[in-house]
Structure 1
Amino acid sequence: MRNRALWTFLVTSFVLFMVQLDNLVVAIALPTIKHELNASLEALEWTVNAYTLVFAVLLLTGAAIGDRFGRKRVFLGGLVLFTAASAAAAMSTSAGELVAARAAQGLGAAVLTPLTLTLLSAAVSPERRALALGAWGAVGGLGIAIGPVVGGAVVAGASWQWIFWVNVPIGILLLPAGAIWLRESRGATRPLDLVGTALASAGLFAIVLGLVESGAWGWTSARIIGLFAVGAVLFGLFLVWESRTPHPMLPLRLFRSRAFALINVTALMLHFGLFGSIFLLAQFFQVAQGKSALEAGLLTLPWTAVPAVVAPVAAGLAKRFGGHRIIAAGMFFQALGLAWLALVSTPTVPYTELLLPFFTCGLGLGLFFAPIANLVLSTVDRTEEGIASGTNNAIRQIGGVFGVAVLASIFAHNGSYTSPQSFADGSIPAVWVGAAVVAAGVVTALLIRPLRKRPVPPARSDRTLETRNDDDHHAHPR
């Protein structure tokens, strides 16, 4: 059992790391992609957002498909799709092809991410579940945070295409490992909410498109106002539909829990500031200071490496002081670091003045990512852990989508790529906005009330569940 649990952790964690890495691994390569593919700012935004938007909208559907057709089977299919889409992205010869491939990657990621949690949760014993989920959350956070430095190293050592090619051998190796060690299971079969998925997809796409194109078309243009209006109407219809359909994609009842609602609002704010700021700061060293991609990645290393050191300590602190307090501290340090960077960044600023702000941001990320998964799951019944985790992941991705779109729009209004000073003029006010949004998340995190500990049912052991899954693949792993 322990060997199976360990291998399940390794397979699911490697997949989660790869999926989360691809959120922002492309950030450092954006200046190179802009040059080689003659991409506009809007195309660069979609290179990031095509992945995260599809990822966010289809996460909950991916979890439902796994429950219906078998989690292991769907997980392996998602891994094949993600690997193939990575190869397609590497072979792209235009910005449009790259955006399409990134959307396909997002679909694979939407299938994989929730299933990494349900497969891992079913494989470990109840007394080790909190530790395993904390490590799982830390691995996912590290994948997001370390994306820029990995991207810089790959671009400098090979080419931007290799930030996608590197997924291919990893995916090929993980496929047989998953086939051997993962245990098949199914959840409660429920109808897919295709109407809700379509409304959410169309509504979010309209709003994000309006944000992305606002710089080119103007905030007050009829097209932008029309896109926002359409998006608002579609999202309103989505909420009405979800409140009435018997099998919603997003169960709104979960948000009746104040703790669950506040956790998700806080996560959205963190990812808004994180994704939007990294989108610009990852390019700052190259565009504003003339550094290479490798130099840019290495210079952000204090931001990306610190979470790996802080996360294990944060998990222990969360048990002692409460996960919501540790998350609030993480939000505070992340906001402080971003504000500090916005305050001192100029085309000629010496790196020594950026070092402490980057360390501060890294400390914030480590404190946030370690306790988030366990805190989310502690707010719901065991039978709803999968949908709760999927909801939280979807909202985090949506926060990232809006962060990139809004901060890039602020950048376009105040600056451009035409000179180092112009890039700094655009990025500084945008990062200030990112810092302000993350700072607001400190308040929402502190408003979360301490959560009661849910007892583990005494007569249900993982060994019993394993036996049932061996005998009946339709058994629910929880």
Structure 2
Amino acid sequence: MASFAPLQRLVISIAVLASFVTFLDGTVVNVALPAISRELGGGITTQQWVVDAYLITLSALILLAGSVSDAYGRVLVMRIGLIAFGGASIAVAAAFDPLTLIIARAAQGAAGALLVPSSLALITATMRADVQSRAIGVWTAFTTGAQLVGPLLGGLFVDYLSWRFVFLINVIPIGITLLLLSRLRLPEHPRGITVDWWSGALCAIGLGAVVFALIEQPNLGWQSPAIWIPAVAGAALFAVFLWRQQRSASPLMPLWLFRVRDFGWGNLATFFVYAALSLNGFVVGVYLQQGAGLSATAAGLASLPMTILMILVSSRAGQWAGRWGPRIFMTVGPLLMAVGALMLLLVSTDFDYWWQVLPAMIVMGLGLSLTVAPLTAAILGAIDENHSGIASAVNNAVSRVAGLLVVAMLSTIVGGTLDLDGFHNAAWFTAMLLVIGGVVSWVGIRRNPAAPAPVDAAATGPTPH
């Protein structure tokens, strides 16, 4: 970062570290799930809640957090988020039963929602033009690095120490970030922006109730009042949230954005593609340990080829999309990933990673590399610069809600148990989601290939899990 001024280097360091902990926490958890289940009990239901409790609050509150950051100041909101995330991480590590763990994970997600929008807002508020683009590029490289090291670190801690240390990884970068934040002097004052707290509550409670019903339905059945009442109430509350967005003077999610063709269709493609990625990440991380008998470290390394290929190829795919338009890449990429997902059907009781899993990870990694930058460039390129922040936040929220819902439906997808048959069911379902994502892109995306694609904008899009 030698080309940046001292203040800019400080801002970038803070933004990178603050976001790093939230992305790291999203990647380390999958390899720790079997160990958590063995120690605390609860089986696949506990594993689902460990992932989804975090995603519920993170996805439901990330839009609200952007408004709070604008209203009360990015530095203050980030400081609160860091302290809360550190405290919640310690609570997760100290959990003595599934319920305590799930509550602490929900608190982690709420704190994480404060960090991502405020960290990017620090960059966009203090830098302009080329410097801002380069700063976002640095931010992307390091947050992508969290994906690279997360599963490996998680596996090493699970195998050689305890799953509890997986969640304590965050404490050191949080401490460093708070120290750096104390050195940052920015003129921030309350701006009189109205925060729609009611919309935030409607979104969070509505999503939470629906996810509760989806996760617990295999245990209690849809006929149980404990299932259908939360399902109906949650759907109604989310419908009220959408209704409120149409009429609010300061909506958390401006619905007019979805009337812009490439933004609306691009987010629909995002939903299916990222639902597939979340399902694949969960199932591969858990099955390779519980079904194939790999160590947590080996399971963490299993999907590493996907991340490496994304780092090597995705920026070039963004350049290609700028030349030929994103539509072809947003179509071919998911279809190639679908082929990779179907290759996981080769996994058998006579397990061999090198022939049954590695080829699928390579094919999926190539498809993912062709998809991510064109997808986000198409979505953000459809919206003017004045609304790019909220457009990015909405796209992030869509990707996280997709992962939230598909993990909630896991028991139904795999058939109740994540054995070999369940793993194969998940592979079929993942491929189906990816095919739909590719078809949606082909049908819906219409940006003129001659128009320049904002490749750097891909940095603010959702990070794959």
TM-score (norm 1): 0.86
Q: Matches of 2:452 and 2:119 in 1, distance apart?
A: 24
Query: Residue 322 of structure 2 contacts residue 453 of structure 2 at CA under 8 Å; is this kept in 1?
Result: no
Q: Could you say which residue in structure 1 is the equivalent of 2:108?
A: 105
Residue in structure 1 matching 2:439, options 419, 423, 443:
443
Is 1:93 the counterpart of 2:96? The answer is yes
Structure 2 gaps of 5+ residues are 455-465
1:270–1:146 Cα change, 3 Å = farther
What secondary structure, in the 3-state scheme, does the structure 1 residue paired with 2:234 have? helix
Is 1:259 the counterpart of 2:259? The answer is no
1:233–1:114 Cα change, 3 Å = same
Residue in structure 1 matching 2:272, options 259, 269, 272:
269
Residue type at the aligned position of 2:445: I
Residue in structure 2 matching 1:164, options 154, 164, 167:
167
Q: Could you say which residue in structure 1 is the equivalent of 2:11?
A: 8
Q: Matches of 2:190 and 2:440 in 1, distance apart?
A: 33
Q: Deviations over 1:247-306 (max 9, x none)?
A: 222111111111111222122212211112211110111111112111221233223332
Query: Residue 213 of structure 2 contacts residue 231 of structure 2 at CA under 8 Å; is this kept in 1?
Result: yes
Is 1:429 the counterpart of 2:425? The answer is yes
More displaced, 424-433 or 320-329?
320-329
Q: Could you say which residue in structure 2 is the equivalent of 1:344?
A: 346
Is 1:204 the counterpart of 2:207? The answer is yes
Query: Residue 218 of structure 2 contacts residue 416 of structure 2 at CA under 8 Å; is this kept in 1?
Result: no
Q: Could you say which residue in structure 2 is the equivalent of 1:152?
A: 155
Q: Deviations over 1:378-421 (max 9, x none)?
A: 3223332222221111111101101211233322x3535xxxxx
Tell me how large the CA RMSD over aligned residues is: 2.5
Residue in structure 1 matching 2:237, options 234, 239, 245:
234
Cα displacement (A) at 1:135: 5.0
Cα displacement (A) at 1:208: 0.8
1:408–1:229 Cα change, 3 Å = same
What secondary structure, in the 3-state scheme, does the structure 2 residue paired with 1:346 have? coil
Residue type at the aligned position of 2:219: A
What secondary structure, in the 3-state scheme, does the structure 2 residue paired with 1:92 have? coil
Query: Residue 151 of structure 2 contacts residue 297 of structure 2 at CA under 8 Å; is this kept in 1?
Result: no
More displaced, 402-411 or 63-72?
402-411
Query: Residue 196 of structure 1 contacts residue 241 of structure 1 at CA under 8 Å; is this kept in 2?
Result: yes
Q: Matches of 2:119 and 2:379 in 1, distance apart?
A: 16
Cα displacement (A) at 1:355: 1.0
Q: Could you say which residue in structure 2 is the equivalent of 1:281?
A: 284
Query: Residue 407 of structure 1 contacts residue 433 of structure 1 at CA under 8 Å; is this kept in 2?
Result: no
What secondary structure, in the 3-state scheme, does the structure 2 residue paired with 1:83 have? helix
Residue in structure 2 matching 1:401, options 404, 422, 433:
404
Residue type at the aligned position of 2:262: A
Q: Matches of 1:307 and 1:301 in 2, distance apart?
A: 10
Cα displacement (A) at 1:130: 4.2
Q: Could you say which residue in structure 1 is the equivalent of 2:461?
A: none
Residue type at the aligned position of 1:368: T
Q: Deviations over 1:1-28 (max 9, x none)?
A: 6343344333322322321121231111
Q: Deviations over 1:111-163 (max 9, x none)?
A: 11112222222333313444544554454455346543332122123210111
Residue type at the aligned position of 1:450: R
1:186–1:404 Cα change, 3 Å = farther
Query: Residue 133 of structure 1 contacts residue 374 of structure 1 at CA under 8 Å; is this kept in 2?
Result: no
Residue type at the aligned position of 2:264: A
Alignment of 1:359-374 (within 5 A): 359-374=362-377
Q: Could you say which residue in structure 2 is the equivalent of 1:36?
A: 39
Cα displacement (A) at 1:323: 4.1
Residue type at the aligned position of 2:56: L
Query: Residue 331 of structure 2 contacts residue 439 of structure 2 at CA under 8 Å; is this kept in 1?
Result: yes
Query: Residue 325 of structure 2 contacts residue 447 of structure 2 at CA under 8 Å; is this kept in 1?
Result: yes
Query: Residue 54 of structure 1 contacts residue 110 of structure 1 at CA under 8 Å; is this kept in 2?
Result: yes
Is 1:175 the counterpart of 2:178? The answer is yes
Residue type at the aligned position of 2:346: V
Query: Residue 57 of structure 1 contacts residue 394 of structure 1 at CA under 8 Å; is this kept in 2?
Result: yes
Q: Deviations over 1:188-232 (max 9, x none)?
A: 643221221222122211211111012111245454333332222
Q: Matches of 1:3 and 1:325 in 2, distance apart?
A: 42
Residue type at the aligned position of 2:438: V
More displaced, 298-307 or 125-134?
125-134
TM-score (norm 2): 0.88
What secondary structure, in the 3-state scheme, does the structure 2 residue paired with 1:25 have? helix
Is 1:119 the counterpart of 2:122? The answer is yes
Query: Residue 334 of structure 1 contacts residue 363 of structure 1 at CA under 8 Å; is this kept in 2?
Result: yes
Query: Residue 142 of structure 1 contacts residue 307 of structure 1 at CA under 8 Å; is this kept in 2?
Result: no
Residue type at the aligned position of 2:434: V
What secondary structure, in the 3-state scheme, does the structure 2 residue paired with 1:348 have? coil
Q: Could you say which residue in structure 2 is the equivalent of 1:316?
A: 319
Residue in structure 1 matching 2:219, options 216, 221, 242:
216
